Amino acid sequence: MRRLIVIVPAFFLMFIFVRTGALDNLYDRFTFNKLSWFDNTALVEHLRTVITRKGLTTMPRRCLVMVVNGDASTPVPSIDVLGRHGNGCPGTTPSAELLFHLRVDRAGQSIMTDAGSPGLYRPLTP
């Protein structure tokens, strides 16, 4: 009985952390650093967290696909953010639609987005 008193609240607490995205935010804060701006994999994971935290889309984090136009040596890459449908994501037919664009200044550590106003970029503060 004592085990249940510990396990059940711990399970519910972990469930709440996962469902609210708090665990993703904590992970991002501990792992994303200044050098991560130059690593496309770390940058994409950071952008997924920032996009969902800022509410730029209603799509779940796992359904966001980033297309990085330029390699890690490009100082200001343009990134297309796609929303995936089907296969566990909202929608019935498997497809992907363009949601918005991002511009990332790696050296200046800043993000610009045109979400909600195509072609007009504004700063996105993490």
Which of 94, 126, 95 minimizes the C-alpha distance to 109?
126
Which of 109, 121, 107 minimizes the C-alpha distance to 46?
109
> What does the pLDDT look like over 101-118, one tens digit per residue?
999 999 899 999 999 888
Confidence of residue 79 (pLDDT cuts 50, 70, 90): very high
Question: What global pTM score does this model have?
Answer: 0.80
> What does the pLDDT look like over 29-71, one tens digit per residue?
888 889 899 888 999 999 999 999 899 999 988 999 999 987 7
Let me know: does 40 contact 54? Beta carbons within 8 Å: no
